[in-house]
Amino acid sequence: MDRIRIVGGKPLNGIIPISGAKNAALPLMIASLLTSDTLTLENVPHLADVEQLLRILGNHGVDIAVNGRREHQDGSYSRTIHFTCRTIADTTAPYELVSKMRASFWVIGPLLAREGRCRVSLPGGCAIGTRPVDLFIEGLTAMGAEMEIDGGYINAKAPKGGLIGTRYTFPKVSVGATHVLVMAATLANGTMVIGNAAREPEIVDLANCLNAMGAKISGAGTSTITIEGVKSLSGARHRVLPDRIETGTYAMAAAMAGGDVTLDGTSVDLLDTALEALRRSGAEVIAVPNGIRVIGHGDAIKPVDVVTDPYPGFPTDLQAQFMGLMTRSTGISHITETIFENRFMHVQELARLGAKISLNGQTARVEGVSKLKGAQVMATDLRASVSLVIAGLAAEGETIVSRVYHLDRGFERLEEKLTRCGAIVERISD
């Protein structure tokens, strides 16, 4: 099993290219099930989750062609992938596939909309919380679907003539359920109005792509999304938006390690709240053409309190990284997690590096220390794993992060990007 070795104490200086967003690419790929024409996606990142979804879509009958690989001088690359689903070969999403990646459950929306029926495995829990599918079931039921849970699967059936547009308001914000209802509603009869919808940029990106395919969606990016159903969708060509979580992660890495880093191919508009918290911590965050420049001052990190909230609030996916930054602050900060009930598993691993963190329910009290010291640590989930890398960059000596397959799910060529900015980071294969 691969590990990552980090020798801390090196400031970061240079350019880090930002990849396409995983959280946008996955629903966009699933949207290919809605049309018999070809959907072409540009700027698709090379990640373990993307590769797994390619296998899942192939199981449903999607023909996949990868081309357009462009080698850049910085060593990163983007891919263009063509998805063509002339017919749905299989309306069953089996447990052995869905269990490996939760987002694969989202195929339930397009399969139900296009075929009128499907059998999809329940995804189960995960390391950072149960994340139940109740909202998916309630939303599709409101559209007239019959939903039956049998043997760990959801057997779903649309009314004769297809799903029906209606008005449905989520009792709580859910990004995944918003993705699913938006996709399902594109082919529904009548107009669907979704209240308390997720407002993330990835929702907007999906809506923009679907509109290019012939859908009639308005309001994406607000809490009310309206979808006027159409008979069919065509193909389209769409570029995946930049990864705002990767952007925030490298911005926090620069703030913690110190140095001067330009994040290329992204925008401050994607994560205003997180970047404002970073500015309050003492880092300089400057919008530049096609990117963001971050100047970190290492030992002069100010304590900042944050509370995770649905977009446009502070992202839960940057909570662990920001906690890593706060371990070196000059005072006491408080980080409150409101999205997931079990997302502080990185605390005990940061403590192995010398961090002083105590928990009180969903709030972590972080007392900054003058130095961290390298140690062997273990990744527990995707975002927790990269928080350990960030901390390792600023720690004295050597840090070894194990179980880095978590990193491969969401960060493209992380060690290469950091190394090009002066960090000592290498992958060790056992």
118, 126, 209, 421: which is the annotated catalytic residue? 126
Instruction: Give CA–CA dist 387/344, Å, rounded.
Output: 11
Detail the DSSP E strand segments found in 116-250.
117-121, 146-150, 153-157, 167-169, 191-195, 216-218, 224-228, 236-239
Q: Is position 133 annotated in a ligand binding site?
A: yes
CB atoms within 10 A of CB 168: 21
Side by side, which strands form the sheet with 424-428?
376-378, 398-402, 3-7, 424-428
Q: Which two tokens stand for residue 192?
A: 């669907």
Q: Is position 211 annotated in a ligand binding site?
A: no
Q: Is position 175 annotated in a ligand binding site?
A: yes
What separation in angstroms does the CA of 365 have from each of 90, 303, 318, 331, 368? 49, 11, 17, 11, 10
Side by side, which strands form the sheet with 63-67?
63-67, 79-84, 38-44, 236-239
Contact 191, 218 (CB under 8 A): no
Rg (CA), the chain: 22
Instruction: Give CA–CA dist 91/111, Å, rounded.
Output: 7
Residue matched to tokens 């547009």: 165
- Residue 218 neighbours by CB under 8 Å, 6+ apart: 225, 226
| 371: helix, strand or coil | coil
Q: Is the dihedral of CA 17, 22, 26, 27 positive or negative?
A: negative
Contact 122, 115 (CB under 8 A): no
Q: Is position 339 annotated in a ligand binding site?
A: yes
Q: Which two tokens stand for residue 129?
A: 């919380």
Tell me which DSSP letter residue 353 carries. T
Beta bridge partners of 365: 334, 358
Instruction: Give CA–CA dist 258/274, Å, rounded.
Output: 18
Q: Which two tokens stand for residue 300?
A: 């002069």
User: DSSP of 269-301, one letter per residue?
Assistant: GG-HHHHHHHHHTT-EEEEETTEEEEEE-TT-P
Q: Is position 134 annotated in a ligand binding site?
A: yes
Q: Is position 377 annotated in a ligand binding site?
A: no
Asked if 85 is an active-site residue, the reply is no
Beta bridge partners of 224: 195
Q: Is position 131 annotated in a ligand binding site?
A: yes
Q: Is position 22 annotated in a ligand binding site?
A: yes
Q: Which two tokens stand for residue 341?
A: 């009930």
Active site residues: 126
| Binding site feature residues | 22-23, 102, 131-135, 172-175, 317, 339
